[in-house]
Structure 1
């Protein structure tokens, strides 16, 4: 049990850092999105940080090659934030789960509820959020195209199916955790 509590402490630090760094990374990326990657040295463009490509109906597009207006830049940033919301919310849920692990509550009703929320979040991501984020991003990228070449595309593909699978899997795990918590409570109160 000590090992679970110790690792939980480390993971809580990782989750807190991730919650701060992921939005910051996205903000920096969108502030410098209009910089051409050929104009930036490799030191500044750390591991392709400023490069981002998305798939449109016409093929892959490097976002640094788009002429961004402030409104389109805001639309693209909003699309990325919407796409990252499930990840950020799941980090908060995982923080709650690992706080419980840190105090020794492994098989509890609260953890089962948190796992169910995590599974529902995966399902929501698969069925709605991924498609909405991708649709908004494609719209932002193709708005600079001439009339007749702009796209509003809604898609459902393999990434959606994997999130759907993970959502169902985590919900099943929450059911198992709920049953385990009931058995744990029965065992705890048995004399």
Structure 2
């Protein structure tokens, strides 16, 4: 039990760092998105951190080659932020879960509910959020194209299927955890 509590404490630190660093990374990336990767040294670019490509119906587009207006930059940033939102929310759920683990509460109904929330979040991500963020990003990238070459594309593909699979899997795990919490409660109150 001590190992679980110790590892939970370490993971809480990692989750807190990620909650701060991911939005910060996205912000920095979009502030410098117009920089060509040849304009900055590898030290400043952090070996490709500022490079980002998006798949459009015409093929892959490097975002540093797009002529960005402030509004399109904001739209692209919002699309990236929407895409990262489920991961950020899941970090908050995982923080709560590992606080319970750190406190020695393993098989509880609260943990099972957190697992279910994570599973539902994966499903929402698969069914809506990935498609929405991809659509907004393609719109932001192709908006500067000449009329007739702008795209509004909604897609559902392999990334959606993997999130859908993981969502169902985590919901099943939450169901098992709920049953385990019932058994744990019965065992705890049995003399």
Question: After TM superposition, is the score higher than 0.5?
Answer: yes
Gaps of 5+ in 1: none
Gaps of 5+ in 2: none
Greater mean deviation of Cα atoms: 160-169 or 38-47: 38-47
Q: Are positions 1:157 and 2:157 aligned together?
A: yes
**Secondary structure in 2 aligned to 1:12?**
helix
Q: Are positions 1:137 and 2:131 aligned together?
A: no
Aligned-pair distance for 1:41?
1.0
CA distance in structure 1 between the partners assigned to 2:42 and 2:69 by the alignment:
26
CA distance in structure 2 between the partners assigned to 1:38 and 1:144 by the alignment:
22
4+ residue segments displaced more than 4 Å: none
Residue of structure 2 in register with 1:73 after alignment: 73
How many residue pairs end up in the alignment?
A: 191
Instruction: Give deviations 1:8-29, integer Å, cap 9, x for gaps.
Output: 0000000000000000000000
CA distance in structure 2 between the partners assigned to 1:37 and 1:67 by the alignment:
15
Q: Any residues of structure 2 matched to 1:118-129 within 5 Å, and which?
A: 118-129=118-129
Aligned-residue Cα RMSD (Å) equals: 0.4
Q: Any residues of structure 2 matched to 1:20-31 within 5 Å, and which?
A: 20-31=20-31
Instruction: Give deviations 1:114-160, integer Å, cap 9, x for gaps.
Output: 00000000000000000000000000000010000000000000000
